[in-house]
């Protein structure tokens, strides 16, 4: 140890007690005999503050484990998850009861205002409906949507259902219920209804035996 170590301040002695660091120039006292390609190591000890922190975490972990073990009957993450899941389902069901117009497909009513019709027209174009039905709804691969003949039923409810669930198997029309919202599907169906009786440039012959129903 350095001869002047007895003259150092109390603060420095306190810091040395926390780290147990050796003073510069005393490396030979703690030099180990190990030699790795000319590299030697010092026998430094772990700082007391680190060791105390490590011991404290061990004590806390033992306390935590005992608390969890002895209180497992009163509390468990599985039970908490199940309770929160049940509460969430109950809240969803209550919301559906409070807002039936958002979930009850039997009560769907077509939009007639210009804003929703315009959004339906935009969806018709952006969701590639025009690829099969053409931009003027006259029909190409898909049927003509401007006449009063419908393969899967006319009216906002049937059209909405076709958009949601998809067309006939093997005909290429995919279900959109997981891709666009309920309101957007109603807007799309409303736009199609608004185009009834229009005159497309090259209308496809009528298909289907189902005539537009009275609503």
Over the chain (215 residues), the average pLDDT of each successive run of 10 is 57 72 69 77 80 92 82 73 92 81 73 94 88 90 89 87 85 86 91 91 84 53
CA distance 146 to 2: 101
Tell me what pLDDT residue 211 has. 66
Tell me what pLDDT residue 8 has. 64
Tell me what pLDDT residue 88 has. 93
Tell me what pLDDT residue 207 has. 86
CA distance 80 to 86: 10
Which string of b and e fits 101-136 if b means at least 16 CB within 10 Å?
A: eeeeeeebebbeeeebbebbbebbeebebeebbbeb
Q: Is residue 191 within 8 Å of 117, Cβ to Cβ?
A: yes
Q: Is residue 167 within 8 Å of 173, Cβ to Cβ?
A: yes
CA distance 192 to 51: 75
Q: Which residues pair with 31 in a beta bridge?
A: 42
pTM of the entire structure? 0.53
Q: Is residue 4 within 8 Å of 26, Cβ to Cβ?
A: no
- Sorted by where each starts, the structural domains of the chain and their CATH numbers stand as 3-70 (no CATH), 105-211 (1.10.760.10)
DSSP annotation string for 93-106: HHHHHH-GGGT-GG
For the chain, the 3-state helix, strand and coil shares in percent, each to the nearest 5, are: 50, 5, 40
Tell me what pLDDT residue 187 has. 93
Residue 189 Cα distances to 17, 98, 160, 162, angstroms: 80, 25, 6, 9
Residue partners of 174: CB distance under 8 A and separation at least 6: 166
Tell me what pLDDT residue 131 has. 86
CA distance 12 to 212: 95
Tell me what pLDDT residue 98 has. 77
């Amino acid at each position: 140890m350095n001869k002047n170590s007895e003259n150092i301040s109390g603060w420095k002695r306190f810091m040395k007690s926390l780290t147990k660091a050796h003073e510069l120039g005393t490396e030979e006292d703690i030099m180990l005999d190990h030699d790795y390609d000319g590299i030697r190591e010092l026998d430094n000890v772990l700082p007391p503050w680190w060791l105390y922190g490590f011991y404290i975490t061990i004590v806390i972990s033992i306390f935590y484990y005992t608390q969890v073990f002895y209180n497992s009957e009163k509390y468990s993450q599985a039970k908490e998850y199940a309770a929160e899941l049940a509460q969430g389902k109950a809240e969803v069901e209550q919301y559906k009861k409070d807002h039936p117009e958002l979930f009850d497909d039997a009560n769907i009513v077509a939009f007639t205002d210009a804003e929703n019709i315009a959004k339906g027209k935009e969806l018709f174009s952006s969701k590639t409906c025009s690829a099969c039905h053409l931009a003027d709804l006259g029909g190409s691969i898909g049927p003509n949507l401007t006449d009063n003949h419908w393969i899967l039923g006319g009216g906002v409810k049937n059209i909405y259902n076709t958009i949601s669930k998809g067309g006939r198997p093997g005909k290429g029309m995919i279900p959109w219920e997981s891709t666009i919202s309920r309101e957007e599907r109603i807007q799309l169906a409303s736009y199609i209804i608004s185009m009834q009786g229009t005159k497309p440039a090259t209308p496809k012959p009528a298909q289907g035996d189902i005539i537009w129903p009275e609503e």
